[in-house]
Structure 1
């Protein structure tokens, strides 16, 4: 059974952002300091607010850009498929670096900045995954990667695994293009990595990838327009209002069986146990067995016999 966490009863507070600022938001992100970032596709604006709703900075873009992550507000990467470039902006929304892919590569469909020195590029023209050091302009590695790029929404590379997100699926490959995991995702938007934890942000839900279990929903509100999280809270835009939820309150409101898999896993890695479903059935309480019934009958008989014996004495 899929277990969903409905968070409307655990909302801590409504953040003071004007509804007009949220009405046309295409995406919303929160950094680990509580600052909020609103991206509007209508005018390609990217605006940063503090937790009180005060505007800190705004970047007006000329073409659509995808914001990779705001976890490090000092260096926020933005990728544009249209412009074939990656921008880095600072905490005041000023551009600090721009990388042009047109002169060196074919057609880059997706880019992932791993750190402040290198990034991973999916080149659609050559069907290759490229590890590129943009500090010294050198290609470190190149791997054949012949996948469909049509509905690709995000890319993440971590510990020799390549995470591919589309609007309908998450797929995980090795660098040798071996698929080790696949699961359906509804309206997948981007990845978020917290140390070893890989999260998938969708339109109105957040799911966590657990290698032994698959995808597990950790936050969901079907009525939400946009959701996101930082290290302390979950955020959602609902009815053009911005709500904040404490991680602790959401955990308390969720059932203990929250860690059960949300989605069926079509393909499993060879590292995962084959008899996993059988083990889960054994862990689920409440299934009466013949041994349990016999034990209850035996205990009842012993109590009755003791009572009879006292009456005789």
Structure 2
């Protein structure tokens, strides 16, 4: 019964919070990836022509970037400076809110083979150099290497990299791993079809194909959103987004929270009454007759008196 109540609450929250956004299905049909910034703008990446197109929440195109080789969009949380990394071109570029290139960083002249790059801020990059098996902290503003750490991990199925508070988060096709800067493994868990990290203040989020997880140091990976029928999912600070059947849907975090608060009391199991201090004798003389507890006797007496009073009224006394 409790499971049914939980499923009902989840279904009710989903229906109440779902909203279809007016984005043309043709624009979503060949989408390889989708990202949402914290202003509600959407970025659609198509692997067919290596294009990255920006739309507002009403489906109006705000900008488009045509690329010559595949690029991985790291994050769009700051739409004024969106980092993109290309393993093929061995470079990272930054684009502004109009999808115009504002800076390009070439790794070929200074490093070996960079397998993955993470832009920590507007000055520093973290680079995984596959040729030297090192994690490099690089200041691209003044072209200097700050630190270099031995990092002899397998980079064959690497999907994303994030460095935060002296911890290195590695996402592969089937796992998430957390290391210290000394290459000590702090955490590992299976995670299918992970795509990229997203950091929200102190919280590390993992975006997968049709699910979103939050990393909890004590509980591990906690699923916070999922839809097995979704083609692509993403989130910003206010909402979850998903593409399903070539249509775009939004799930408001605030509405989901409000709906859960309204329905949670109904989903809670009723507290059980404490047992009576006096045990009830269930069997008498082996006949299986149940004995009525003594505390219920006053109720029967009161009912009898009421019946007698009714009889007296009927005879006119």
TM-score calculated relative to the size of structure 2: 0.81
- 1:1-52 deviation per Cα after TM superposition (whole angstroms, max 9, x unaligned): 9x99667524432111111100000000000001000000000000000111
Tell me the residue number matched to 2:229: 223
Say if 2:117 and 2:127, in contact at 8 Å, map to a contact too: yes
Task: Determine whether 1:296 maps to 2:302.
Answer: no
Say if 1:8 and 1:221, in contact at 8 Å, map to a contact too: no
Tell me the residue number matched to 2:191: 185
Tell me the residue number matched to 1:49: 55
1:102-113 correspondence runs (5 A): 102-113=108-119
5+ residue gaps in structure 2? Answer: 262-267, 281-291, 301-317
Task: Determine whether 1:236 maps to 2:235.
Answer: no
Tell me the residue number matched to 1:18: 24
Mapped to 1, the partners of 2:94 and 2:82 lie a distance apart of 5
Say if 2:14 and 2:256, in contact at 8 Å, map to a contact too: no
1:134-173 correspondence runs (5 A): 134-173=140-179
**Which of residues 217, 226, 229 is equivalent to 1:211?**
217
Mapped to 1, the partners of 2:162 and 2:177 lie a distance apart of 11
- 1:48-89 deviation per Cα after TM superposition (whole angstroms, max 9, x unaligned): 001110101100000000000000000000000000000000
**Which of residues 53, 58, 69 is equivalent to 1:63?**
69
**Which of residues 98, 102, 113 is equivalent to 2:104?**
98
Say if 2:92 and 2:104, in contact at 8 Å, map to a contact too: yes
Mapped to 2, the partners of 1:70 and 1:46 lie a distance apart of 12
* Higher-RCO chain (CA-CA 8 Å, sequence separation at least 6): 1
TM-score calculated relative to the size of structure 1: 0.82
Q: Give the structure with higher Rg (CA).
A: 2
- 1:91-137 deviation per Cα after TM superposition (whole angstroms, max 9, x unaligned): 00000000000000000000000000001000000110000000000
Mapped to 1, the partners of 2:47 and 2:39 lie a distance apart of 25
Question: 1:307 deviation in Å?
Answer: 5.2
The secondary structure found in structure 2 opposite 1:57 is strand
Task: Determine whether 1:117 maps to 2:123.
Answer: yes
**Which of residues 35, 44, 58 is equivalent to 1:29?**
35
The secondary structure found in structure 2 opposite 1:20 is helix
Instruction: Give the CA RMSD over aligned residues.
Output: 2.8
Tell me the residue number matched to 1:258: none
Say if 1:151 and 1:166, in contact at 8 Å, map to a contact too: yes
